Amino acid sequence: MTTISVSPETIGTTPGPFSVWPGSARPAPGGDVTVGGVSLAEAADRFGTPLYVLDEDEVRERCRTYRAAFPDADVIYAAKAFLCRAVAHWVQEEGLGLDVCSAGELELAVTTGFPPEKIVMHGNAKSPQDLATAIRLGVGRIVIDSTCEIARLAALLPVGTRQQIMVRVVPGISAGGHAAIRTGTDSQKFGLSITDGSAQHAITRILDQPNLDLVGLHCHIGSQVTTVKPYVLAVRRLVGLMARIREQHGITLPQLDIGGGHAVAYRPGEEALDITALAARVRTELTDGCTRAGLPVPHLTIEPGRAVIGPAGVAVYHVLAVKRTGDHTFVAVDGGMSDNPRPALYGVRYAPTLIGRHTSATPHPVTVVGRHCEAGDILADDVLLPDDIRPGDLLAVPVAGAYHLSMASGYNLIGRPPVVAVTHGTARVLVRRESLADISSRDICL
């Protein structure tokens, strides 16, 4: 990252500093940037900061890209990346399904009008309430993540009904941008291992339950996966397991879900997963593998989350303080780890940009930090911002749509920021700012 204020020469270039911004991002007078035709500086004045701006057209276009790349598959949006009623509505209109991990996500989606039969329920430790809500609302598929869930789910189902389920399998593949988001190996909490036979044992137990309809296998190898190869290997191993299931139990599973985890670029020059290449290689491996095993090709499901919503979001902060200590410069903003815990959790690096004014000051490495009482409250380390950065300036952080507000906390009792959708020059609040009154209303007794 070498640019610190906005100019027509840098916005929208590839692989320039603004290549990771929403496609609608444009330079504006006075060093401003517009997204979806809306001035970010004016949005900050109107809605306050911290602020999350979400480009509706970018979300929709990314949904369409997936539908075009995987025309014969179910494309399921991973709600954990970020969910609100508007996002549920957008992805439904664009033909995507939804995966949820709790009764809360499920209730929000269904009460918004999302068809429950197009919803998949995940989770490594689903509560009885989660499962009961999924049954009551009629979700399409439930993914079994442990043997404990088999009897629990079967006991909750009304007599005479059957629930479609899948088994989350651990294929023994290490993939992902950080150890905390690698979920395809035996050393983490998700799924049932092929290696130690846990997956095969669970399948045997499921087939003994007459009200559980095993329709397929599921895996999710990790997040921020930049290459196609781990997905191809996962398909190969799951097709092999499908062949063994047919040999042992005499059944052919009709569905295969290979999860998501598709990488996006957070900073210019970083690698993103090529979705078109992924679709082609997965389709070839699935067809060839099934041919070798004498299996019909199962119906494919994929579950992108970050790759749909992440690049559509921009976070906007005001600078509160600039502190120069020895050879370090700290730029403190009015948000931080309560609205974006990802840098503290697994070292994510961003490309914050000064907006709202032009400057010819020399770029200088700084650390952008939050306002919270935690030394690890760092939003961006060793980034270039102008020497004249000062309190009152605006910083915009692109690729802020995924795993920011969905993971936000109430640390220091600082309310969570609002989410504002922008499209065709208009802005509307999707999720309002959390107020002190909201926080206080939950504290009911001395």
Q: Each residue of 44-56: pLDDT tens digit?
A: 999 999 999 999 9
Confidence check: pLDDT of 324 > 50? yes
In the chain, what is the greatest distance between 2 CA atoms, to the nearest angstrom? 73
Domain count, the chain: 2
Mean pLDDT for the stretch of residues 412-430: 97
Q: What is the pLDDT of residue 417?
A: 98
Catalytic residue among 63, 219, 290, 373: 373
Q: What is the pLDDT of residue 178?
A: 45
Task: Name the pLDDT band for 395 (thresholds 50, 70, 90).
Answer: very high
Residue 424 in domain:
yes
Read out DSSP for 174-235?
--SSSGGGB-SSTTSSSSEESTTSHHHHHHHHHHT-TTEEEEEEE---BSSB--SHHHHHHH
Confidence check: pLDDT of 57 > 90? yes
Mean pLDDT of the chain: 92
Residue 229 in domain:
yes
Q: What is the pLDDT of residue 177?
A: 52
Q: Model confidence over 176-206: pLDDT tens digits?
A: 554 544 454 567 567 898 888 899 999 999 9
Q: Where are the alpha helices (DSSP H) in 250-341?
A: 275-293, 306-309
Mean pLDDT for the stretch of residues 58-86: 98
Confidence check: pLDDT of 9 > 50? no
Q: Model confidence over 436-446: pLDDT tens digits?
A: 999 999 999 88
Q: Which one, of 363, 420, 408, 297, lies nearest residue 40 by Cα? A: 420
Q: What is the pLDDT of residue 12?
A: 35
Q: Are residues 243 and 379 in the same domain?
A: no
Q: Model confidence over 102-144: pLDDT tens digits?
A: 999 999 999 999 999 999 999 989 999 999 999 999 999 999 9
Q: What is the pLDDT of residue 316?
A: 98
Q: CA–CA separation, 320 vs 395, rounded Å?
A: 11
Phi, psi (5° rounding) for residue 149? Answer: -75, -20
Say how many residues make up the chain: 446
Confidence check: pLDDT of 235 > 80? yes
One-letter amino acid identity for 5? Answer: S
Q: What is the pLDDT of residue 151?
A: 93
Mean pLDDT for the stretch of residues 355-367: 95
Mean pLDDT for the stretch of residues 375-397: 95
Q: Please say whether the beta carbons of 362 and 386 come within 8 A.
A: yes
Q: Are residues 107 and 192 in the same domain?
A: yes
Read off the tokens for 409.
């906390």
Q: Model confidence over 288-311: pLDDT tens digits?
A: 999 999 999 999 999 999 999 999
CATH number of residue 46's parent domain:
2.40.37.10
Cis, peptide link before residue 8, omega less than 30° from 0? no
Q: What is the pLDDT of residue 126?
A: 95
Q: Are residues 333 and 232 in the same domain?
A: no
Ranked by mean pLDDT, the top range of 174-178, 223-227, 365-369 is: 365-369
Confidence check: pLDDT of 166 > 80? yes
Q: Please say whether the beta carbons of 439 and 411 come within 8 A.
A: no
Q: Which residue has the higher pLDDT, 327 or 292?
A: 292
Q: Model confidence over 264-293: pLDDT tens digits?
A: 999 999 999 999 999 999 999 999 999 999
Per the DSSP assignment, residues forming a β-bridge with 378 are 369
Residue 16 in domain:
no
Q: Are residues 289 and 334 in the same domain?
A: no
Q: CA–CA separation, 237 vs 231, rounded Å?
A: 10
Residue 10 in domain:
no
Mean pLDDT for the stretch of residues 411-424: 97
One-letter amino acid identity for 232? Answer: V
Residue 192 in domain:
yes
Could you list the residue range(s) of the whole structural domain that residue 126 is in? 56-310
Q: What is the pLDDT of residue 184?
A: 44
Domain end position, chosen among 310, 341, 360: 310
Q: Are residues 287 and 359 in the same domain?
A: no
Q: Which residue has the higher pLDDT, 3 or 76?
A: 76
Q: Are residues 346 and 252 in the same domain?
A: no
Q: Model confidence over 146-155: pLDDT tens digits?
A: 999 999 999 9
Q: Are residues 286 and 346 in the same domain?
A: no
Q: Are residues 276 and 372 in the same domain?
A: no
Confidence check: pLDDT of 13 > 70? no
Q: Are residues 352 and 265 in the same domain?
A: no
Mean pLDDT for the stretch of residues 211-222: 94
List of residues 6+ apart from 312 with CB closer than 8 A? 22, 54, 55, 56, 58, 59, 62, 401
Q: What is the pLDDT of residue 348?
A: 86
Confidence check: pLDDT of 15 > 90? no
Active site residue 84: no
Read out DSSP for 369-429?
E-SSS-TT-EEEEEEEEETT--TT-EEEEES-SSSSGGG---GGGPPPPPEEEEETTEEEE
Task: Name the pLDDT band for 16 (thresholds 50, 70, 90).
Answer: low
Q: Which one, of 430, 422, 429, lies nearest residue 38 by Cα? A: 422
Q: CA–CA separation, 350 vs 341, rounded Å?
A: 13
The strand pair at 74-78 and 299-302 is best described as parallel
Domain end position, chosen among 310, 344, 371: 310
Q: What is the pLDDT of residue 171?
A: 86
CATH number of residue 212's parent domain:
3.20.20.10
Q: What is the DSSP letter of 157?
A: S
Confidence check: pLDDT of 10 > 60? no
Q: Are residues 139 and 259 in the same domain?
A: yes
CA angle 201, 170, 263 (to 5 degrees): 160
Give this prediction's pTM. 0.93
Residue 9 in domain:
no
Residue 324 in domain:
yes
